[in-house]
Copies of this chain bind each other. A is one copy, B any other.
Amino acid sequence: MPKIESVDLFYVSMPVVEDISDGSQDALLFRVAAGGTVGWGEAEASPLPSIASWVAPMSHGFCHPIMTSVLGESINSPEDIARIAARVKRRSLDILQTDHTLSGLDEALWDLLGRMRGEPVWKMLGYRKSWPKTPYASQLFGETAQETYQKAKQVADAGYRATKFGWSNFGLGTPKQDADHLMAAREGIGKDGILLVDAGCVFDADVERAAKRLPALKAARATWYEEPLDRDALGEYKALSKRTPKVALAGGEGCYTFQMAKQMMDFAGVGFIQIDAGRIGGITPAKQAADYAKAKGVTFVNHTFTSHLQLSASLQPYAGLREHEICEYPVELKAVAMAITRNTIARDKNGQVSAPDAPGLGMEIDVDALRPYLVDVSIKVGGKALYETPKLRA
């Protein structure tokens, strides 16, 4: 049975990282090799702390460096991936960074296994078909309502049926100002467009302030109201979900375990659960969340903030759920994120996107394009080199 021979972590970055909400400015990639096959994954994590968790000297029996739970393990089936993840989670239980790091590893293991078997990941997850999804273009609210209108119109003109507006000044001014932006967005996308709103946790845990925006959200026919509150304020989300007029809540991008996603669905009253495979611990717990969402009548949506490699990984867990149709689609990626893959997941003639019908994650890593973005990292503890950026190879 093939054994995991090597795992290499690569930190790639734009030369200059800007202080903006654009998660595509750097990336942490995992290259796993076993039995002559190579798989790739990406952690949606701060690269340096995740590299540190990979090599950190043991603190005690539940605080092992993650790599020691992985190297040399046999890998031949999805059960092996689950076994390795359970081993990592138990032996590195008290390293908080663990699940973010595990996410990139789990994705790479699924990619590897799919390539060994010549099967797409979604097929190994038990789906018979990869259904097309309706991508939404994500953007910031304009500075003025007029600017929001123009942004909305542009995206609709570019052929997107769904648009998400978020952040900027939403929630920072009066409910009336927010209402103006919401109506401008609706006018810009037209009456049939799908309008999504992301409040970026702006109301902390204040249900009253968050609720003041419900009438305008309803009037603008927003499909969801995303993260109005702090990510872990479950009881407050639940209270908000019961307020009228009713607008479906969306959240979950911060979940880094299946149980956290389950709690959002059990206790927070969300109508949409947004899961990033690069954060929740990989494709394995993301699929658990999709199964649970389906059973519970909650709609699953990917959260994707970075490359097309990550987009493929985040599409796999719900590729076969036909009715769970909305998809977050990265539109304005930085050059480093585009350099990761040779191919992309493009919109089809209907403007929709699907998880690739190709082995593993179906993405081809472009090591030559990536090389200029590779960050040189060196970590020494007690004079011993624990991590040196490895050579980038296919």
Residue in B17, B48, B63 whose beta carbon sits within 8 Å of that of A379 in the complex: B48
Residue in B52, B56, B263, B379 whose beta carbon sits within 8 Å of that of A378 in the complex: B379
Q: Which stretch in A21-29, A112-120, A181-189, A343-351 binds the other chain?
A: A21-29
Cβ B235 vs Cβ A266 within 8 A: yes
Tell me the nearest residue of chain B to A256, going by C-beta: B96
CA distance A174 to B218 in the complex (A): 56
Query: At the interface, yes or no: A369 with Cβ under 8 Å from chain B?
Result: no
Count of this chain's copies in the oligomeric assembly: 2
Query: At the interface, yes or no: A302 with Cβ under 8 Å from chain B?
Result: no
Q: Which stretch in A240-248, A314-322, A359-367, A380-388 binds the other chain?
A: A380-388
Query: At the interface, yes or no: A58 with Cβ under 8 Å from chain B?
Result: yes
Cβ B378 vs Cβ A21 within 8 A: no
A375 contacts across to B, CB distance below 8 A? 57, 381-382
Interface residues of A in 216-268 (CB under 8 A from B): 230, 232-235, 254, 256-257, 259-260, 262-263, 266-267
CA distance A100 to B45 in the complex (A): 16
A21 contacts across to B, CB distance below 8 A? 60-62
Task: Give 1 or 0 for each of A88-109: 1 = CB within 8 Å of chain B CB.
Answer: 0000011111111000000000
Query: At the interface, yes or no: A376 with Cβ under 8 Å from chain B?
Result: yes
Residue in B45, B96, B377 whose beta carbon sits within 8 Å of that of A381 in the complex: B377
Cβ A61 vs Cβ B20 within 8 A: yes
Cβ A234 vs Cβ B256 within 8 A: no
Tell me the nearest residue of chain B to A46, going by C-beta: B95
Cβ A61 vs Cβ B96 within 8 A: no
A296 to chain B, nearest CB (A): 12
A51 contacts across to B, CB distance below 8 A? 52
Cβ B263 vs Cβ A49 within 8 A: no
Residue in B25, B56, B235, B378 whose beta carbon sits within 8 Å of that of A49 in the complex: B56
A310 to chain B, nearest CB (A): 14
Query: At the interface, yes or no: A4 with Cβ under 8 Å from chain B?
Result: no
Tell me the nearest residue of chain B to A26, going by C-beta: B59
A99 contacts across to B, CB distance below 8 A? 96
A53 contacts across to B, CB distance below 8 A? 46, 48-49, 97
Query: At the interface, yes or no: A192 with Cβ under 8 Å from chain B?
Result: no
Residue in B47, B57, B380 whose beta carbon sits within 8 Å of that of A17 in the complex: B57
Cβ B381 vs Cβ A60 within 8 A: no
Query: At the interface, yes or no: A139 with Cβ under 8 Å from chain B?
Result: no
Cβ B47 vs Cβ A49 within 8 A: no
Cβ B379 vs Cβ A59 within 8 A: no
Besides the known contacts A18-B60, A234-B267, A379-B379, 4 further A-B residue pairs in the complex with CB atoms under 8 A apart? A23-B60, A49-B52, A49-B97, A267-B267
Q: List 9 A-B contacts (CB under 8 A).
A: A17-B59, A19-B64, A25-B59, A45-B94, A47-B57, A48-B386, A49-B49, A49-B96, A376-B380
